[in-house]
Chains A and B, each alone.
Chain A
Amino acid sequence: GDSVTQMEGPVTLSEEAFLTINCTYTATGYPSLFWYVQYPGEGLQLLLKATKADDKGSNKGFEATYRKETTSFHLEKGSVQVSDSAVYFCALSDQSSGGSNYKLTFGKGTLLTVNP
């Protein structure tokens, strides 16, 4: 079945450091890929998405590129801020099963802490 593997956390960085959170996936079809963010005490918010190979999703300075050849969707940001401290979830929805929200597979999440 489908699966998502994220790098183990927690990740601790200083403000203005470069961020990479690795995400690789296994899917039988052609998935859409997502990054969701969960700030402390809140629900998840969609951060960015990509629906086909070589697409780049971007939002709030974060980027991720859909790499079919390496089955990866790594999240990057050039200069993190304290306000970026949160849990980040990689997720996929396999299009061959209808590309439905109820077929979303989430990774375990990566906790990011940014210190001033």
Chain B
Amino acid sequence: DGGITQSPKYLFRKEGQNVTLSCEQNLNHDAMYWYRQDPGQGLRLIYYSQIVNDFQKGDIAEGYSVSREKKESFPLTVTSAQKNPTAFYLCASSIQTGVNSPLHFGNGTRLTVT
């Protein structure tokens, strides 16, 4: 079955360390996205990529970095510059970035930084 795989499900890191969250999709989608979800808040867009080797900042990109070297992969690095990194991170993809292409989400990675 096609889908989006995020790993690991839970991740623990010490403050000051960079950490990379994995996102892989086998849906052959061009567009991929990273969202952050905090308790009692809606999703906020961190980065998105419309095509391989291209990505754009979302609403809260500071302290994060991404790469898109392959169509199926869009890893997110949470750097030590991110002031409040503890959150639930969701990766998504869509055929294209147009709104008529619905988002498909992974099951998320819960990151805890202490």
A interface vs B, CB < 8 Å? 4, 32, 36, 41-46, 49, 51, 89, 91, 93, 95, 99-109
Contacts and interface: CB of A to CB of B under 8 A. Distances in A.
Contact of B43 (A41, A42, A45, A89): A89
B12 to A, nearest CB: 17
B90 A100 contact: no
B98 A44 contact: no
Size class of the B contact interface (CB-based, 8 Å): 20 to 34
Contacts of A51: 99-100
Interface stretch (B62-70, B71-79, B105-113): B105-113
B3 to A, nearest CB: 10
Given A89-B43, A102-B45, 10 more contacts: A36-B103, A42-B108, A43-B92, A45-B105, A101-B94, A101-B98, A101-B99, A106-B43, A108-B40, A109-B42
A25 to B, nearest CB: 12
B42 A32 contact: no
